Amino acid sequence: MAISLTPLDVYFFVLGLINLSRRPLVTTGARDIAALGVAISGLIMAGPMDLFLPEAATNRYGGSVWILLLVFYALCLALIVLTMRPRLVIYNASPEQLRSILAEVVAKLDNEARWAGDSLVLPQLGVQLAVESVGFLRNAQLVASGPPQAYAGWKKLEEELVHVLRETKTTPKMHGWGFVLVAIIMLSLVIFRTAIDPAAVLAAVNQMLRR
């Protein structure tokens, strides 16, 4: 339980604080997915990894086989991140708010920029994107669309957005309290279960390490 919930607990707590902030936060889709991958790493360890742990490798390498499995998981996560389309995620900003801010940024970066509904083309930067909403989080994201993109253009767009949004204030999202509450409940559960039976915790660790 501790292995499964602790990384997820940290993720929910940080996500809650971000949504309760009065300032928007810009991050790349790669960092966003990488953070989610780390958050569910405990569930992966306690679930599929433990279930399909190769016994032959365990007999030969002992507990160190977990290092190999975690490296393999990290490489798979890196592959997913590197093959993703460019994307920017903006927390604490609705698509409507982002459009007005983006119009200001685009005017500085590319005087040939063209809007078509929620789509935007920046020819001079080699960027083509669509403004989308991030579901129940009520945040916004810029997702690459169309032909191959210029990563240097995306980097420049990210830097300019960070600069402009640094001076922008928004209303905290109340669902951020929900994430914080879930994080506190999970942490309390882990601490409680660990404290009432430390011997069982040690036995579970030894079982995972096949000692």
Angstrom CA distances, 82 to 147, 150, 184, stand at 17, 14, 33
Tens digit of pLDDT at every position of the chain (211 positions): 888 899 999 999 999 999 888 888 899 999 999 999 999 999 998 888 888 777 777 777 777 788 888 999 999 999 999 988 899 999 888 788 888 888 888 888 888 888 888 888 989 888 999 988 876 677 889 999 877 788 899 999 999 998 888 888 888 888 889 999 999 999 999 898 888 888 887 887 777 766 5
- At position 57, the amino acid (one-letter code) is A
List of domains in the chain? 1-84+172-211 (no CATH), 85-170 (3.30.310.180)
- At position 116, the amino acid (one-letter code) is A
DSSP for 70-104 reads: HHHHHHHHHHHHHTSPPEEEEET--HHHHHHHHHH
- Kindly state the tokens that stand for 124: 């001079």
**107 vs 105: CA distance, rounded Å:** 5
* First-to-last C-alpha distance (Å) of the chain: 19
- Cβ distance 42 to 5 under 8 Å? yes
SS3 69: helix
Find all residues with CB under 8 Å of 72, minimum gap 6, and list them.
none
